[in-house]
Amino acid sequence: MGQELKQWTVEELPTAIPIFPLTGVLLLPGGRLPLNIFEPRYLEMTEDAMSSHRVIGMIQPADPTCRDFEPQVYDTGCAGQITEFKETEDNRVLITLTGLCRFDVVRELPHDALTYRRVNARYQPYECDLIRDNGMALDRDQLIGALKKFFESRGMSADWSAIEELCNEDLMTSLVMACPFGPSEKQALLECRETEQRSAMFQALLEMAAHERDGMVGAGAPQ
């Protein structure tokens, strides 16, 4: 079942939202994130969101090694609206979140031990997230070159024709969400104030990762 994406303002976004802490999972404004929901508390969260504002906050645990039931989370996440919803025969729910706006956690709200977590969210520092930047500047040739070197260093492939068809903003959002960086790198990319800053950091991470992999291959090569 598809849901129309609402055009939100900062004042309209709900100040109390459920959060879904997932290590290494990044949602950015304008991005689309498919999720497979099966835990009872998150099934409840999804049902409640669908019956109200359809907004869920994606956020990472601050310590990726922590296995606590309720780990401490970063101060910044991204709110998304449920735009796709499907129930399966084995009692799972498949949803797609479309990123709306980043938020800072003001405080966590009280809740029962086995239910999902909720926070008060502050969106004002990220109001620009609600305005699409279709004219953002981007050196696509340099970015694609760095991306190809990164993929080659890991034996990965990509649909380059589909990548070329994306506008600059959609290209950056899709690549940043999809590339296999670590949780701390993903959080740093999320917290970049401007899209251009995120683009520069993303390219630097690509080049660094490809260079490190080349160094590892060279170090292990036979003499």
Supply the pLDDT for residue 122. Answer: 98
Q: Are 69 and 114 in contact (CB under 8 A)?
A: no
Cβ burial, residue 136 (10 Å; 0-12/13-18/19+): middle
134: left (phi over 0), alpha (psi -120 to 50) or beta: alpha
Supply the pLDDT for residue 56. Answer: 98
Distance (Å, whole) CA 73 – CA 70: 9
pLDDT tens across 123-170, in order?
A: 999 999 998 766 677 888 888 888 888 888 888 888 888 888 888 888
**In the structure encoding, which two tokens stand for residue 209, read together?**
């990762």
pLDDT grade, residue 222 (50/70/90)?
A: very low
Supply the pLDDT for residue 218. Answer: 44
Over residues 8-31, mean pLDDT:
96
Between 144 and 189, whose confidence is greater?
A: 189
124 SS3 class: helix
Distance (Å, whole) CA 95 – CA 53: 15
| Topology annotation, domain 16-130 | 2.30.130
Supply the pLDDT for residue 113. Answer: 78
Where do the structural domains in the chain lie, given as residue ranges?
16-130, 140-218
Over residues 28-57, mean pLDDT:
96
Query: In angstroms, what CA-CA distances link 159 with 4, 70, 165?
Result: 28, 38, 10
Over residues 20-33, mean pLDDT:
96
pLDDT grade, residue 106 (50/70/90)?
A: very high
